Amino acid sequence: MALDRFDPLLKTNDLVQDLKWDQEFRARFESDEDAVIDEYPLTDAERRAIRERDFRGLHELGLHPYLLSQLARLIYGTGEKAGTSGAATALIRSLLGDDYDAYMAERRD
């Protein structure tokens, strides 16, 4: 996943950066996600993708790939083993869609 779709003007980039760096803001997001989302001039598509945890959709809208992983980590927490946490699994499943099971099967071989 390269920067081919990255849109630096996409406001979700700002939202994720703010969530990353501001612990109080992150706590507000965890307790009232809709209120925090409403503080940003996001498009309906951005809002829907965040609420539905549609990381592929956020990528297609222009969210920076690094910030995709940060958002997944912030929402789902972190895991002890890289690539096996709920955050990593949710991100990979969303990005790969119907190809997820085949991808995981290849990794087990």
Residue 104, SS3 per DSSP: helix
- Tens digit of each residue's pLDDT (9 = 90 or more) over 11-45: 999 999 999 889 899 999 999 999 999 999 999 99
User: Pick from 33, 48, 37: which is nearest to 11 by CA?
Assistant: 37
- Tens digit of each residue's pLDDT (9 = 90 or more) over 77-99: 764 444 556 777 788 888 888 88
Q: How is residue 98 written in tokens?
A: 């119907």
| Residue 51: Cβ within 10 Å count | 11
Taking the complete model, does pTM exceed 0.75, yes or no? no
In eight-state DSSP terms, residue 99 is G
